[in-house]
């Protein structure tokens, strides 16, 4: 490329620096300028919750390379050959003259910069509802490292904290602050937390486990205002249902894409409210590209436009845009909405479509949920993972996977994302030749075990009853027998209290006690994880029992205890 190629990148957090760095490698002689309103460049905002819980000791680590060099203006100039203008605001884009008007926020000086290729990496802005009392001391948000620093300076004075918002950031924060032994309450307007990440069934299980760790949840509640004392300190969060006393509140109600500059320049804004781009990440102006949290994406399964701001997507897009602004041809095909996070010691992940999303698209959905160990049970580091696999009955195509648990979730989600990317069926997933050794997995990986459960359903070998369906039976007062096939010791330690009729017969004694089991009523089998109850179902059906089902996932996926039905 000619050394006259002028590339300007607006935005210095994630996608912008990645674009500029890739463009430099592809065009060593290009003139590349990176512009940002702030002073902190290329920082890892995903690490902010880990700074607050003490895992990350120094905020400087979030703006440093793996070899300890701070990513500042001098770093970009010396190591990348990229000119960085901080504390600089882009006021307008003139597409006719291919130039931008900028203003230095310190001096107030304005001037014009020409470009050949322009990249918008303007990111997103936190959504802060106009609550009364936002100015009170103790009301925070968490988006920028400065926000994390402000919280950290006060955290030793805090015993109770309210989080407004149960999405990605709100839940990560809930885990981080619970790790610091603070009393955490989450207020969420929707019926569940992590909407768009987990289906309601898995979310209910996760929330039940987090409640046992001391996190309180107030769902379907709207924050109205904050109230403080005479010194201006926050003391209460007022919702439409209650008053919550607290020392601090952190608002985590999501973000919206920064599209004002693009809109003013006449660029097309998509149906999601983010900037519309093609597969080359070009906007409606072929010399202007857009990447990261300001753009919308195409979902690879549904084909629909979605807005999903993630650092992983931003960095992948930066590489593609860096190629294309330097005359190469790289494509960004779309996303599977793959995401992982951690809340306390529970890992959470998803990829592809959720169950209701798939139904709305017209798929004939079949799903299965199975708990399993992430490693062999005799390995001392084994942990629980609960997997949900979603597929289409007609085509047998895999549609989505979700997972929760203290065990290793991300490995299963990444395998599922790979399978989805190549259009795998449930049989393809079950047939994958995955690695096995006790420190890494079970001999049949939990993901494949769940796939096999689905294949059993399709073959008519297993009538699964979900926890929600069993709860409905109990609430209606249906006449059925709950047959617990765990050991007598397990039965004595933890019993199911909700059903009218409960019988304990361990799996190893089932065949010799068949005469004790009534044949004239519905039988629901249960165990700890669903494995033994499935074995028992096959035994009973082989003995001629007709109306038999098993509780899918067993006690591990029952979200209505420990208080209440399970004790």
Give the phi and the psi of residue 195 in degrees, each rounded to 5: -60, 135
Residue 105 and residue 39: Cα distance in Å, rounded?
A: 11
pLDDT tens readout for residues 295-322: 999 999 999 999 999 999 999 999 999 9
The pLDDT confidence band at residue 2, using thresholds 50, 70 and 90, is very low
Q: Is residue 564 predicted with pLDDT exceeding 50?
A: no
The pLDDT confidence band at residue 3, using thresholds 50, 70 and 90, is low
Identify whether the C-beta of residue 180 lies closer than 8 Å to the C-beta of residue 250.
no
**pLDDT at site 499:** 86
> Which is nearest to 180 in space by CA: 250, 84, 129?
250
Question: The tokens of 197 are what?
Answer: 């990440």
Residue 318 and residue 113: Cα distance in Å, rounded?
A: 22
Q: What is the chain's mean pLDDT, rounded?
A: 94
Is beta strand 6-10 parallel, antiparallel or unpaired with respect to 117-120? parallel
The answer to whether the bond into 481 is cis (omega within 30° of 0) is: no
Question: The tokens of 290 are what?
Answer: 């857009």
Give the phi and the psi of residue 310 in degrees, each rounded to 5: -135, 145
The answer to whether 46 is a known catalytic residue is yes
Domains, the chain, in order of start with CATH, read 6-123+257-324 (3.50.50.60), 139-253 (3.50.50.60), 345-458 (3.30.390.30), 464-557 (3.40.250.10)
The residue-averaged pLDDT of 170-177 equals 96
Q: Is 201 helix (H, G, I), strand (E, B) or coil?
A: helix
Which helix or strand (DSSP H or E) is residue 319 part of? Answer: helix 311-324
Q: Is residue 561 predicted with pLDDT exceeding 90?
A: no
Q: Is residue 565 predicted with pLDDT exceeding 70?
A: no
The residue-averaged pLDDT of 232-242 equals 97
The angle subtended at Cα 63 by Cα 75 and Cα 184, nearest 5°, is 170
The pLDDT confidence band at residue 4, using thresholds 50, 70 and 90, is confident
Q: Is residue 202 predicted with pLDDT exceeding 80?
A: yes
Q: Is residue 497 predicted with pLDDT exceeding 90?
A: no
pLDDT tens readout for residues 358-406: 999 999 999 999 999 999 999 999 999 999 999 999 999 999 999 999 9
Q: Is residue 176 predicted with pLDDT exceeding 60?
A: yes
Q: Would the pTM of this model clear 0.85, i.e. be above it?
A: yes
Is beta strand 160-164 parallel, antiparallel or unpaired with respect to 139-141? unpaired
**pLDDT at site 209:** 95
Radius of gyration from C-alpha coordinates of the chain: 27
């Amino acid at each position: 490329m000619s050394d006259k190629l002028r590339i300007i990148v607006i935005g210095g957090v994630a996608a912008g620096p990645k674009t500029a760095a890739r463009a430099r490698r592809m065009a060593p002689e290009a003139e590349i300028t990176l512009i940002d309103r702030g002073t902190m460049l290329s920082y890892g905002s995903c690490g902010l919750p880990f700074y607050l819980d003490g895992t990350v000791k120094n905020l400087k680590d979030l703006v440093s390379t793996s070899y300890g060099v701070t990513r500042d203006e001098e770093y970009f100039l010396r190591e990348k050959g990229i000119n960085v203008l901080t504390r600089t605001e882009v006021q307008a884009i003139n597409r006719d003259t291919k130039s931008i008007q900028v203003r230095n926020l310190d001096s107030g000086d304005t001037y014009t910069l020409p470009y050949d290729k322009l990249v918008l990496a303007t990111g997103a802005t936190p959504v802060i509802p106009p609550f009364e009392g936002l100015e009170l001391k103790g009301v925070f948000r968490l988006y920028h490292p400065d926000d994390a620093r402000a919280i950290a300076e006060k955290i030793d004075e805090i015993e109770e904290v309210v989080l407004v918002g149960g999405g990605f950031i709100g839940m990560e924060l809930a885990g981080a602050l619970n790790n610091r032994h603070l009393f955490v309450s989450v207020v969420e307007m929707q019926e569940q937390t992590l909407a768009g990440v987990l289906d309601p069934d898995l979310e209910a299980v996760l929330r039940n486990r987090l409640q046992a760790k001391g996190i309180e949840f107030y769902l379907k509640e709207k924050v109205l205002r904050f109230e403080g004392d005479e010194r201006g300190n926050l003391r209460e969060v007022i919702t439409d249902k209650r008053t919550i006393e607290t020392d601090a509140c952190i608002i985590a109600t999501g973000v919206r894409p920064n599209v004002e500059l693009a809109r003013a320049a006449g660029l097309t804004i998509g149906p999601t409210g983010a900037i519309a781009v093609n597969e080359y990440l070009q906007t409606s102006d072929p010399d202007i590209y857009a990447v990261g949290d300001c753009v919308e994406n195409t979902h690879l399964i549904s084909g629909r436009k979605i807005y999903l701001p993630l650092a992983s997507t931003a960095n992948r897009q930066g590489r593609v845009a860096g190629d294309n602004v330097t005359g190469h041809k790289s494509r960004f095909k779309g996303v599977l909405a793959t995401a992982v996070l951690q809340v306390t010691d529970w890992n959470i992940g998803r990829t592809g479509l959720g169950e209701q999303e798939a139904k709305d698209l017209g798929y004939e959905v079949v799903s299965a949920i199975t708990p399993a160990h992430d490693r062999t049970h005799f390995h001392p580091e084994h942990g629980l993972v609960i997997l949900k696999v979603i597929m289409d009955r007609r085509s047998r195509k895999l549609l989505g996977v979700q997972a929760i648990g203290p065990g290793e979730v991300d490995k299963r989600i990444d395998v599922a994302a790979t399978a989805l990317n190549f259009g795998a069926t449930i049989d393809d997933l079950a047939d994958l030749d995955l690695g096995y050794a006790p420190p890494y997995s079970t001999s049949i990986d939990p993901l494949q075990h769940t796939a096999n459960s689905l294949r059993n359903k399709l073959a008519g070998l297993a009538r699964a009853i979900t926890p929600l369906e069993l709860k409905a039976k109990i609430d209606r007062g249906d006449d059925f027998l709950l047959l617990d096939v765990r050991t007598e010791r397990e039965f004595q330690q933890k019993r199911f209290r909700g059903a009218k009729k409960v019988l304990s017969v361990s799996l190893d004694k089932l065949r010799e006690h068949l005469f004790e089991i009534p044949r004239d009523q519905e039988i629901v089998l249960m165990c700890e994880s669903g494995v033994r109850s499935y074995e028992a179902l096959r035994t009973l059906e082989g003995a001629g029992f007709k109306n038999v089902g098993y509780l899918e996932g067993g006690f591990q996926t029952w979200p209505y205890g420990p208080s209440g039905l399970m004790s």
